[in-house]
């Protein structure tokens, strides 16, 4: 039996994906669903329970139409500027109107006016037209006005179709887009909470539900990066559980070998990288229900962090086995997956196991006609770890010709950065100093020659800091 065959046999774990699914259903939830609020108490682990999406639901109201003041009314006449007085400052909405309406915006306004005249303020067709108006305003960068249109559309949809009617979903998604564009992340977070609640009540089992779960998982990651929760670890737990629910849904519908399982599996692996590397603030003491709930979540998170290495390894093994089933034993794909496993081991300080895995990957490539080329591509350069899209340790490098920061350093065969030096003539800055400290503390996968790790000298490591 060849070494590569032995490797595949060793990595094949029967029932691995069902095992992950059982794991997904074997814990208590961290939130109880409520029609009024979703609190940061628990993440659900079963498909009928909602994960935490921090924020409180707000009541949307229909915008009121103002009328022109009566200049003959003594109560209002004194508030109007005289011919020689400066006009009052414009409100934010009035300033937005300085931008001329596009043809589409004008057409939507006309249709909405007609519907209100013919069908009243609650006409059934209004939410769809308000969505079109809001999207057209978005295209002009008029996000405050777009948000007002989306809010009114959501409110009318709830009146006409019920509190959790599906018609409000595109309006909520568009409203979140405008809040993010405005930098209103807490408002976007609150709308995500409500969006997910509506999605759970309107979407049956299927691709739409899976996509909603993964979109919410991606938002939890973004909310973690933005620091929208007092305790960031709750966002990472939510991220893991949402991807795990998506995995369960796909496996139940399409079986254990569906290629669609790869996306949630990669999401789960990113979650484990973030959980294993988390060093943020944990819950404090106290006797309030919020403090008690936070401590419960902290205990759960600590258990997850302790077992992160095994969980991440199980996820990678599942990815490996799934790719083997769907790629007819493609050696290049096998080598990539083995390298991913080696990276996970090396990042966790399991050096001996990682080197064994890297060598197995190189042996897989040896059976290909282009073995030398592919080995150079996968192992010919030292790479910072993690080397997984979405959780990479360092910012992307750029062209030295366009960069304002040029670095040179060495990477030892053990993956340690040495002799870091800045070689450009640019000014000092705190963000550059932080990056250099981060680089010194980053573990690299070393370069390999003839199956063995070797020292490297890296020059022209370039950044354009103006993009940060």
Is residue 378 within 8 A of residue 365, CB to CB? The reply is yes
Question: Could you read off the pLDDT of 437-468 as tens digits, one per residue?
Answer: 999 999 999 999 999 999 999 998 999 988 77
The single-letter DSSP state of residue 419 is E
Write the CA distances from 257 to 260, 318, 321, 336, integer angstroms.
9, 10, 9, 19
Q: Tell me, what's the pLDDT at 49?
A: 35
Beta partners for 406? 462
Percent of the chain scoring above 70 in pLDDT = 76
Is residue 404 within 8 A of residue 463, CB to CB? The reply is yes
The single-letter DSSP state of residue 449 is E
Is residue 334 within 8 A of residue 324, CB to CB? The reply is yes
Q: Tell me, what's the pLDDT at 80?
A: 44
How many other CB atoms are found less than 10 A from the CB of residue 339?
Answer: 23
Ranked by mean pLDDT, the top range of 167-171, 396-400, 401-405 is 167-171
Q: Which residue would you say has higher pLDDT here, 69 or 235?
A: 235
Question: Could you read off the pLDDT of 89-134 as tens digits, one per residue?
Answer: 656 655 555 688 999 999 999 999 999 999 999 999 999 999 999 9
E strand or H helix that includes residue 462: strand 456-463
**Environment class of residue 148 by beta-carbon count within 10 Å: exposed (0-12), middle (13-18) or buried (19+)?**
buried
Average pLDDT over residues 226-234: 89
3-state secondary structure of 448: strand
Q: Please state, rounded to an integer, the average pLDDT across all residues of the chain.
A: 82
Question: Could you read off the pLDDT of 167-215 as tens digits, one per residue?
Answer: 999 999 999 999 999 999 999 999 999 999 999 999 887 899 999 999 9
CATH of domain 48-64+92-204: 1.25.40.10
The span from the CA of 347 to the CA of 273, in Å, is: 10
Closest by CA to 58, choosing from 203, 179, 218, is: 179
Spatial neighbors of 305 by CB under 8 A, at least 6 apart, are 275, 276, 278
Closest by CA to 145, choosing from 192, 110, 86, 95, is: 95
Question: Could you read off the pLDDT of 4-37 as tens digits, one per residue?
Answer: 444 443 343 333 444 443 344 333 333 333 333 3
Spatial neighbors of 12 by CB under 8 A, at least 6 apart, are 321, 324
Has residue 383 got a pLDDT over 50? yes
The span from the CA of 195 to the CA of 169, in Å, is: 7
Average pLDDT over residues 382-403: 92
Q: Which residue would you say has higher pLDDT here, 57 or 395?
A: 395
The span from the CA of 336 to the CA of 201, in Å, is: 40
| Cis-peptide, bond into residue 386, ω within 30° of zero | yes
The span from the CA of 213 to the CA of 43, in Å, is: 13
Q: Tell me, what's the pLDDT at 290?
A: 56
How many other CB atoms are found less than 10 A from the CB of residue 123?
Answer: 17
Write the CA distances from 299 to 227, 273, 293, 452, integer angstroms.
20, 18, 10, 41
The single-letter DSSP state of residue 466 is G
Q: Tell me, what's the pLDDT at 98?
A: 62
Q: Which two tokens stand for residue 350?
A: 């399991």
The residue extents of the domains of the chain are 48-64+92-204, 389-467
Phi-psi region of 172 (alpha: psi -120 to 50; beta: other; left: phi over 0): alpha
**Strand (E) positions, 317-431?**
383-384, 405-411, 417-422
Question: Could you read off the pLDDT of 314-359 as tens digits, one per residue?
Answer: 999 999 999 999 988 799 999 999 999 999 999 999 999 999 999 9
Radius of gyration of the chain (CA): 28
Measured in degrees and rounded to the nearest 5, phi and psi for residue 452 equal: -125, 145
């Amino acid at each position: 039996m060849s070494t590569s065959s032995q490797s595949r046999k060793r990595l094949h774990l029967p029932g691995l994906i069902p095992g992950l699914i059982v794991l997904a259903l074997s814990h208590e939830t961290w939130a109880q669903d409520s029609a009024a609020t979703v609190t940061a108490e628990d993440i659900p682990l079963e498909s009928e329970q909602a994960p935490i999406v921090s924020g409180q639901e707000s009541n949307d109201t229909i915008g009121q139409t103002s009328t022109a003041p009566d200049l003959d009314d003594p109560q209002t006449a004194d508030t109007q500027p005289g011919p020689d007085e400066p006009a009052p400052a414009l409100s934010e909405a009035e300033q937005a109107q300085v931008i001329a309406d596009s043809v589409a915006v004008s057409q939507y306004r006309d249709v909405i006016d007609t519907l209100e005249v013919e069908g009243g303020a609650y006409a059934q067709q209004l939410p769809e037209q308000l969505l079109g108006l809001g999207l057209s305003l978005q295209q002009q960068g008029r996000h405050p006005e777009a948000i007002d249109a989306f809010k009114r559309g959501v409110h009318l949809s709830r009146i006409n179709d019920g509190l959790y009617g599906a018609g409000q979903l595109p309006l909520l998604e568009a409203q979140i887009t405008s809040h993010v564009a405005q930098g209103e992340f807490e408002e976007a977070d609150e709308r995500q909470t409500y969006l997910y609640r509506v999605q759970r009540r309107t979407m049956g089992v299927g691709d739409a539900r899976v996509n909603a779960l993964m979109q919410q998982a991606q938002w939890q990651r973004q909310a973690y990066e933005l620091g929208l929760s007092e305790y960031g670890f709750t966002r990472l737990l939510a991220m893991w559980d949402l991807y795990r629910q998506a995995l369960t849904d796909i496996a139940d519908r399409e079986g254990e070998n569906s290629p669609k399982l790869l996306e949630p599996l990669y999401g789960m692996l990113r979650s484990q990288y973030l959980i294993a590397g988390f060093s943020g603030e944990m819950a404090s003491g106290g006797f309030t229900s919020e403090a008690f709930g936070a401590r419960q979540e902290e205990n759960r998170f600590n258990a997850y962090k302790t077992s992160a290495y095994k969980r991440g390894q199980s996820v990678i093994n599942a990815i490996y086995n799934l790719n083997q089933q769907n790629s007819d034993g493609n050696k290049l794909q096998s080598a990539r997956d083995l390298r991913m496993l080696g990276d996970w081991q090396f990042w966790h300080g399991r050096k001996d196991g990682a080197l064994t895995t890297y060598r197995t990957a190189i042996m897989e490539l040896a059976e290909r006609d282009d073995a030398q080329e592919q080995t150079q591509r996968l192992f010919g350069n030292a790479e910072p770890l993690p080397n997984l899209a979405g959780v990479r340790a360092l910012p992307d490098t750029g062209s030295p010709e366009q960069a304002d920061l040029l670095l040179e350093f060495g990477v030892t065969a053990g993956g340690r950065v040495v002799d870091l030096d800045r070689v450009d003539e640019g000014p000092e800055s705190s963000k550059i100093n932080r990056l250099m400290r981060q680089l010194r503390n980053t573990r690299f996968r070393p370069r390999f020659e003839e199956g063995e790790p070797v020292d490297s000298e890296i020059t022209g490591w370039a950044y354009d800091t103006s993009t940060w």
